[in-house]
Amino acid sequence: MNKIRFELFQPLLNDTFNIYFNQDTATDVRLIDVSEQSNETGQTFSLVFRAAKDQVWPQGTYQVHHANLNTMHIFLVPIGPDKEGFCYEAIFNFQSL
Domain that holds residue 86: 6-95
Using an 8 Å Cβ cutoff, are 15 and 52 in contact? no
* Structural domain total, the chain: 1
Q: Is residue 17 part of a domain?
A: yes
Q: Is residue 1 part of a domain?
A: no
Determine the pLDDT at residue 22. Answer: 81
pLDDT above 70 covers what percent of the chain? 94
Give the confidence band of 96 by pLDDT, cuts at 50, 70, 90. Answer: low
- Which residues lie below 8 Å from residue 22, measured CB to CB, with a gap of 6+? none
Round to whole Å and give the CA distance between 37 and 85: 26
Determine the pLDDT at residue 97. Answer: 46
Q: What is the pLDDT of residues 34-76, one digit of tens each?
A: 999 877 777 889 999 999 999 999 999 999 999 998 899 999 9
Q: Is residue 42 part of a domain?
A: yes
Q: Is residue 65 part of a domain?
A: yes
Q: Is residue 53 part of a domain?
A: yes
pLDDT > 80? residue 14: yes
**CATH number for position 75:** 2.40.30
pTM of structure: 0.89
| DSSP one-letter code for 2 | P
Determine the pLDDT at residue 1. Answer: 40
